[in-house]
Amino acid sequence: MSAAVLVVIVLAALLAPLLAPYDPSAQPDIVALAQRPPSGAHPFGTDPLSRDVLSRVVHGGRISISIALLAALLSASIGTAYGAVAAFAGGVTDAVMMRVLDALIAIPRLLLLLLVVALWGAVSVPTLIVIIAATGWFTTSRLVRARVLALSRDDFVVAADALGVPRRRVLWRHVMPNALSPVIVAATLGVANVIALEATLSYLGLGVRPPSASWGTILQDGGDCMAACWWVTAFPGIAIVAAATAFNALGDSVRDAFDPRGEHVVA
Partner 1 sequence: MSEPLLSITQLRTTFATDAGPARAVDGVSFGVPRGETVGLVGESGCGKSVTALSILRLIDPPGRIEPSSSIRFEGRELVTLGEGELREVRGNRVAMIWQEPLSALNPVMTIGAQIAEVARVHSKVSRREARERAIEMLRLVGIPAPERRVDEYPHQLSGGMRQRAVIAMALVMNPALLIADEPTTALDVTIQAQILELLRDLQSRLGMSILLITHDLGVVAETASRVLVMYAGEIVEEAPVAELFRAPHHPYTEGLMRAMPRVGGTSERLTVIPGSVPPPTAWPSGCRFRDRCPYAWERCEREHPPLYQVGERHVSRCHLAVEPERRQHPHVPLAAAVGAESGR
Binding site for partner 1 (CB under 8 A): 154-156, 158-166, 169, 173-174, 177-178
Q: With CA atoms as reference, report the closest residue to 10 among 53, 64, 52, 55.
A: 64
Q: How far is the CB of 29 from partner 1 (least distance, A)?
A: 60
Residue 74 or 160 with smaller CB distance to partner 1: 160
- Compute the least distance from the CB of residue 156 to partner 1, in Å: 5
Q: Which is nearer to partner 1, 120 or 258 (CB)?
A: 258
109 close to 101: Cβ distance less than 8 angstroms: no
CB 162, min distance to partner 1, A: 5
Query: Sign of the C-alpha dihedral, residues 185, 186, 189, 191?
Result: negative
Q: According to DSSP H, which parts of the chain are helical?
A: 2-14, 16-19, 53-89, 91-106, 109-120, 125-134, 138-152, 155-162, 167-169, 176-203, 215-223, 230-258
Shortest separation between residue 263's beta carbon and partner 1, angstroms: 19
Nearer to partner 1, 160 or 197 (CB): 160
Q: How far is the CB of 266 from partner 1 (least distance, A)?
A: 22
Q: Which residue, 178 or 245, is less far from partner 1 as judged by CB?
A: 178
Helix axes 176-203, 125-134, angle to 10 degrees: 120
Q: How far is CA 233 from the centre of its chain?
A: 21
C-beta of 99 vs 173, nearer to partner 1: 173
